[in-house]
């Protein structure tokens, strides 16, 4: 049997290595085994996503980090795990995710398949959420006239979504 690396010398070393429970094996000649030290280089990129954020590690003041109300994930956790905890994370971190999606996919808008069921309701829910956020803003600006108008819109949408739910 020939060395798996150089394919020239006869393999005389059998290397077995277990990393994170994953077993890898190689048959090498003595020169290649020496050269490789053990099994070449493992380059780890745990923080690939972090590089995609405009991320300032310390802003100078202490702010409690935003947390997903459903699964308690923070953006800090996401940077570590490279995964979200639940589908609500996408809503919680929408502002952070949109630029990320643009960098990953060159787009932040879905063009493909849409589930046949529940799509209309989903879209109404989203409108309601946006209006609620807007409502908070106008109330904090003490624009009560506008607030009343938005509240009516929300009620109308809620009636619509309940009607569809039946």
Partner 1 sequence: MSKSWTKKDGPQGDICLGTRIRLARNLAKLPFPATANRDQAKQVMKTAKELSGGLDQLASFRFLDLAEVDELERQILMEKHLISPEHTKKTSNKGLILSENEDISIMVNEEDHFRIQVLMPGLQLNEAWELANRVDDLIEANVDYAFDPDIGYLTACPTNVGTGMRGSLMLHLPGLARINQLGNVLKSVSQFGLVVRGLYGEGSESYGSIYQISNQVSLGHSESDMLEHLARVAEQITASERQARKYLQEHNLPESEDQIYRAYGLLAHARIISTKEALDLLSTVLLGIDLGLIHDLDRGLVKKLMVEIRSAHLQKMMGQSLPAQERDRLRASLIRERLNR
Query: Closest by alpha carbon to 70, among 83, 57, 89?
Result: 89
Give the H/E segment covering residue 17. strand 13-19
Residue 14 binds partner 1 (CB under 8 A): yes
Span between the terminal Cα atoms of the chain, in Å: 70
* CB 148 to partner 1: min, Å: 27
Site for partner 1, residues 102 to 141, rule: CB under 8 A: 104-119, 122-123, 126
Residue span 52-91 as binding mask against partner 1, x where in contact by CB under 8 A, dash where not = ------------------xx-x-------xxxxxxx--xx
User: What dihedral do alpha carbons 61, 62, 67, 73 form, nearest 10°?
Assistant: 100
* CB 141 to partner 1: min, Å: 26
Phi-psi label, residue 68: left if phi above 0, alpha if psi -120 to 50, beta otherwise: beta
| Integer Cα distance of 102 and 89 in angstroms | 17
* CB 23 to partner 1: min, Å: 8
* CB 1 to partner 1: min, Å: 5
Query: Which range binds partner 1 by CB under 8 A, 13-21, 56-64, 140-148, 152-160?
Result: 13-21
Query: Closest by alpha carbon to 92, among 77, 113, 112?
Result: 77
* CB 32 to partner 1: min, Å: 14
| Integer Cα distance of 119 and 153 in angstroms | 20
Site for partner 1, residues 22 to 51, rule: CB under 8 A: 22, 25-27, 49
Positions in the binding site for partner 1 (CB under 8 A): 1-2, 4, 14, 16, 21-22, 25-27, 49, 70-71, 73, 81-87, 90-91, 97, 100-101, 104-119, 122-123, 126
């Amino acid at each position: 049997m020939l060395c798996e690396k150089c394919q020239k010398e006869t393999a005389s070393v059998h290397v077995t290595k277990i990393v994170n429970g994953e077993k890898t094996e190689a048959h090498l000649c003595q020169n290649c085994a020496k050269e490789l030290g053990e099994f070449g280089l493992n380059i780890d990129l745990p923080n690939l996503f972090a590089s995609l954020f405009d991320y300032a590690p310390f802003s100078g003041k202490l702010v409690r980090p935003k947390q997903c109300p459903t699964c308690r994930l923070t953006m800090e956790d996401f940077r570590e795990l490279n995964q979200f905890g639940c589908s609500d994370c996408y809503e919680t971190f929408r502002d952070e995710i949109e630029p990320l999606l643009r960098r990953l996919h060159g787009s932040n808008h879905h063009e493909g398949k849409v589930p046949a069921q529940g799509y209309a309701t989903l879209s109404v829910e989203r409108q309601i959420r946006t209006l609620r956020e807007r409502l908070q803003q106008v109330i904090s600006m003490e624009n009560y006239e506008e607030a009343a108008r938005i509240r009516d819109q929300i009620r109308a949408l809620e009636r619509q979504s309940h009607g569809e739910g039946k």
